[in-house]
Amino acid sequence: MGYQRDSGLPIEFGYTLARSSWGRGLATEAATACLRYAFEKLRLPELFASVDSRNTASQRVLEKIGFIYQREEQLAGGIDFWYVARSA
């Protein structure tokens, strides 16, 4: 997870797991902990995430942890979906 606290720029949330660890709920578990840290400890107001429109597993992870679909973006290599999560 990377961010620039005082820059005023959007802060992007992302993850990559080794293939041997897929399909066991680990991304959801780790992303939930990171999101909680971002909101509760870092006091960030919102986080953004982009995901390839074909990456259903990652979209599912984002939705399971509370990200909400916002819009799509046409890129040279395909379509990305943008999501946002806001602090309660």
Ligand X SMILES: CC(C)(COP(=O)(O)OP(=O)(O)OC[C@H]1O[C@@H](n2cnc3c(N)ncnc32)[C@H](O)[C@@H]1OP(=O)(O)O)[C@@H](O)C(=O)NCCC(=O)NCCS
Which residues are at the interface with ligand X (CB under 6 A)?
14-17, 22-28, 51, 55-58, 60-61
Nearer to ligand X, 6 or 18 (CB): 18
The nearest distance, CB 60 to ligand X, in angstroms, is 3
Give start and end residues of each alpha helix (H) in the chain. Answer: 26-36, 56-64
* DSSP H or E segment with residue 47: strand 46-52
3-class DSSP state for residue 32? helix
The nearest distance, CB 70 to ligand X, in angstroms, is 14
The nearest distance, CB 21 to ligand X, in angstroms, is 6
Beta bridge partners of 83: 49, 69
